[in-house]
């Protein structure tokens, strides 16, 4: 084997293979968004998504104005009271991770 052949086989070919591998691994990652990592700060604006308006038809014939509860529970300076909006929450759950 001549010097040129040796360089081709032992340097250029492995280099090309490594280059293709690297392109496959890191190439598509450029358009991928930043991954969420638990415990890190969340430096984004708050977003609030609602479903498409046509997806929710008016299936319940409710009074549009939510009624205030007759008995107010808790301290008067809860956020719902501050905002002047009636308290509409009735249940749910919470979780931490």
Partner 1 sequence: MTTTKLTPANASGGSARPPTESSTGVRSTPFTLKQLERLDEALTMASRETGINFSLYVGRLRGDTRATAEGMHPAMGAKAANGVLLAVDPGQRVLEIVTGRNSVKRLPDRSCALAALSMTAAFGSGDLVGGIVNGLRMLSDQAGHPQRFR
Give yes or no for a contact between 66 and 86, defined as CB atoms under 8 angstroms apart.
Answer: yes
Give yes or no for a contact between 86 and 67, defined as CB atoms under 8 angstroms apart.
Answer: yes
Give yes or no for a contact between 44 and 36, defined as CB atoms under 8 angstroms apart.
Answer: no
Nearer to partner 1, 4 or 46 (CB): 46
Show contacts with partner 1 in window 59-78 (CB under 8 A): 59-60, 62, 64, 66, 78
Residue 45 sits in the site that holds partner 1 (CB under 8 A)? yes
Residue ranges in contact with partner 1 by CB under 8 A: 31-39, 41-53, 55-57, 59-60, 62, 64, 66, 78-80, 82-97
């Amino acid at each position: 084997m001549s010097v040129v052949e040796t360089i081709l086989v032992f340097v250029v070919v492995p280099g090309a293979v490594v280059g293709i591998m690297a392109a496959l691994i890191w190439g598509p990652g450029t358009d991928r968004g930043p991954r969420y990592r638990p415990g890190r700060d969340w430096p984004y604006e708050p977003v609030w998504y609602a479903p498409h308006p046509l997806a929710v038809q008016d299936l319940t014939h409710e009074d549009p104005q939510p009624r205030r509860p007759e008995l107010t529970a808790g301290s008067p300076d809860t956020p719902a009271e501050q905002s002047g909006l009636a308290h509409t929450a009735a249940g749910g759950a919470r979780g931490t991770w």
